[in-house]
Structure 1
């Protein structure tokens, strides 16, 4: 199941567009769906920023059970696959630790990040349903969906600063080699056990590592290997 867990996790990282389903307090427990952009933290838990005034937040405060469907914005969404994360969502005590990473991924949230009624909620996963296409349907245990233990929460800021200051040409080469995108303005905005993300001329591009990494040294080796591939194909 570990390979399926990795595949499902990679899918979620590549499609951070969610439908959040909560149990309606107003409607006596009926399912209530809403759109919720999200990101995964370094432990593979989805994090959303929502207002206490929102209906889904009131629902979660009354009953934390929920599900979040990650899906592509594709013409045929069923054929493209989806992952449903099921679990309990709880409010984080403060926003400052999570804020910088969240805003790198979702800069449009900056306008309301500082408002007093917005909080981060994090989903503790209890079940994962992965549909990767026709006939590829699996339940995945939370432990298999979770990334390996890592220290990237602490080392990520330094990695980003180094890449964006000293290796912009490499970032452009990654974009061209993996995605066929000739970008001018590039910035690495996040790195995790499974890969990294680059904002290229305003477009977010996902890059997967060939195998999970756990620390800054392994990230560096994975990036060096990718740069070598780019030079070979140049």
Structure 2
């Protein structure tokens, strides 16, 4: 049961791209402080965020890195009957130049508008390193989980994600449109594939991010190609 719960929790983390970051208030000690933040997942499968140095939550994290991220299914009519995930974590700022460059390349694909305010304002990348997870899949489906995140084999240097994305976006826009149509997503000629992991891929459509699952888990660029071809033939 915990294996399935971990899989469902991870899929919820992949499907969503924004959550509520709760930090320990520096101005009001003892009180939690919640902020809405967008995120994408790092190479390790951990939430990657870009936050301003002057923001209250950043000052809170600098004083105490312990935090949580609450992610829930978007558009749910009954939030008590749908999935939600609370990730207890420690926030770590990225300072190594190579790590920052890799994070920026990844984050900008998901949130291209962030490129401008990252350059103009004092924003930094932080990664939320998981400590424990609390997943609720609906009424009575409640789990404490030790392991949910899954490292992305294609996101690391030389893993092939960038090349696969470039190939799909430059040469297979019709296939991308077909994936969106089959998934019931709104048609948009500017839709782009912005991320690939072992279990699925992310499409950027308008201002929204959508994650579509592969028929089977993929362990190499070759198996990703096979999965995408099979989905294009649906």
For the criterion TM > 0.5, the same-fold answer is yes
Describe the superposition over 1:177-213 as per-residue Cα deviations: whole angstroms up to 9, x where unpaired: 1225444332111111221112235543321123332
| TM-score (normalizing by structure 2) | 0.89
Pick which of 210-219 and 25-34 moved more. Answer: 210-219
What does residue range 96-111 of structure 1 map to in structure 2 within 5 Å? 96-111=101-116
Aligned-residue offset at 1:109: 1.7
Residues paired across the two proteins, number: 227
**Separation in structure 1 between the aligned mates of residue 170 and residue 192 of structure 2, nearest angstrom:** 9
| Alpha-carbon distance, 1:214 to partner | 2.7
CA contact (8 A) 2:161 2:196 kept: yes
The reply on whether 1:220 has 2:225 as its aligned counterpart is yes
Q: In 1, Cα distance between the equivalents of 2:206 and 2:57?
A: 33
| RMSD of aligned residue pairs (Cα, Å) | 1.9
**Contact persistence 2:43–2:151 (CA under 8 A):** no
Moved over 6 A (4+): none
For residues 203 and 126 of structure 1, what CA distance do their matches in structure 2 show? 28
| TM norm structure 1 | 0.89
- Gapped runs of 5+ residues in structure 1? none
1:70 aligns with 2:71: yes
| Deviation for aligned residue 1:90 | 0.7
Matched residue, 1:91: 93
Cα offsets for 1:59-103 (capped at 9, x unmatched): 111111000001233243232221111110010014321112212
Q: 2:127 matched to 1:122?
A: yes
Say whether the 8 Å CA contact 2:69–2:87 is kept in structure 1: yes
Structure 2 alignment gaps of length 5 or more: none
Residue number among 164, 169, 172 corresponding to 2:174 in the alignment? 169
* SS in structure 2 at match of 1:221: helix
